[in-house]
Amino acid sequence: MNESRNCQWRVAAHPQGNVQDSDFEYREEPIPLTGPGEFLLRTLYLGVRPVMRMYMQGISAAGEEPLQIGDVIHGRGVAQVVQSAHPDFAVGDIVHGQLGWQTWKVSRGTAGERFIKMQPNGLPYLYGSGVLGMNGFSAYGGLVECGRPQAGETVLVSAAAGGVGSTVVQIARILGCRVLGIAGGPEKCALLKELGCEAAIDYKHENLAARLDELCPKGIDVYFDNVGGETLECVLDRLAFSARIVLCGSISEYTRDEPFRLRNYTRLRSVNASMHGFFVYNFAPHFERMAEQLAEWIKAGQLRPVQSVVDGFENMPAALAALYEGKNTGVQICRVRGEPEECAPLPHLEPVNE
């Protein structure tokens, strides 16, 4: 990575199936200059999320505008303010927000960029790309606010070893629930047992329907859905009375040529169940409270951040492809520069224009 240039990954082609090298264009630009009311950010970490393929396809998702060929790829990350002429952002502030796949960014702190300041709490700023960022807020908000789990209830989580799912599993355990997880492969299932799952279902090697019948003879009280598709359909036939389904993601559907058609959603009526979708940014008024609670659980040893960290900005495309192949465990993060004290000295920057 060239520290004296703004390194970027841009859309070269709309992906067909999983993303591949030819879908990305690497480019280097001058470090942008800061003008009145603006601040300059130096990227420390970038999160890698399944929704990014949808951005690259030109689909509007998660409140972001669709990307065109040649655009910098959307993505949230953690960054340090190194220059500022903005009254709300000071040099040295650490924020997480919409940086895009680039190593420097000039911002005016717009609402669409959704920058959130991280307060020093003794934990790594890395967590702003995971458990103390949108992944953690999705897990907490989706489970607690939408799923409303009660102690003793059975909570089932799909993609349970992923970035959101691994946190949902642990929060459900903390709240006194009986937790079951679905993941692919023996290593991920072993991890789920470590995180507090009573049982883990390996969907690659086990019959999901048979295992759910065995483990949930009285039905499932809360299902936290990260995958959609056939898994959601299977669970709908096995709900307890007054069950709650939380729709967080549908990664199994993102690379399909044809949309999945859910055939048994009317099952909700027969058991007085509900299916509740959510958009994480609608929880924005509660982000500070959520971050404080999640940090408290981490410090108390009750919540373990689960993350796969890839080193090097040049590896962003491979890190995204790995998500759809199920190679990551927990949150997928790219370490661009690392913690602030690990950063190289600043290159020569033009004086900020106040």
Q: What are 5-20's pLDDT values in tens digits?
A: 999 999 999 998 889 9
Per cent of the chain over pLDDT 70 is 99
How many other CB atoms are there within 10 angstroms of residue 109's CB atom? 17
352 assigned to some structural domain:
no
149 falls within a domain? yes
- Supply the CATH number for residue 265's domain: 3.40.50.720
Q: What is the pTM of this model?
A: 0.92
Q: How many helices (H) and strands (E) does the chain have?
A: 9, 15
Residues 98 and 118 in one domain: yes
In a domain, 296, yes or no: no
* 277 and 323 co-located in one domain: no
The pLDDT tens digits of the residues spanning 186-217 come to 999 999 999 999 999 999 999 999 999 999 99
Q: What is the DSSP code (8-state) at residue 210?
A: H
Residue 129 CA to residue 145 CA, distance in Å, equals 22
User: Are both 23 and 142 inside the same structural domain?
Assistant: no
Asked if residue 277 and residue 138 are part of one domain, the reply reads yes
Q: Tell me the residue range of the domain where 257 lies.
A: 134-282
Can you name the residues that pair with 64 across neighbouring β-strands? 61
Across 216-294, the runs of DSSP E, i.e. the strands, are 220-225, 239-247, 274-277
- Kind and range of the H or E run holding 268: helix 267-270
Contacts of 224 (CB under 8 A, 6+ apart): 142, 143, 147, 155, 156, 157, 158, 165, 168, 246, 248
pLDDT band at 353 (very low <50, low <70, confident <90, very high): low
**Which pair of tokens denotes residue 98?**
């919409």
Same domain, yes or no: 210 and 327 = no
Res. 354: pLDDT tops 70: no
Residues 144 and 273 in one domain: yes
- Based on the fold, state whether residues 268 and 335 are members of the same structural domain: no
Same domain, 36 and 169: no
Model pLDDT, residue 350: 82
**Region 324-344 average pLDDT:** 91
Q: Which helix (H) or strand (E) holds 167?
A: helix 165-174
Radius of gyration of the chain (CA): 21
The answer on pLDDT for 270 being more than 90 is: yes
At residue 313, the 3 state secondary structure works out as: helix
> 80: domain CATH number?
3.90.180.10
253 inside domain: yes
Contact between 59 and 65 (Cβ < 8 Å) = no
Runs of H (alpha helix) within 175-266? 186-195, 208-215, 229-236
Same domain, 192 and 316: no
Burial class (CB in 10 A: 0-12, 13-18, 19+), 133: buried
Is 155 within a domain?
A: yes
Domains: count for the chain: 2
Beta bridge partners of 84: 39
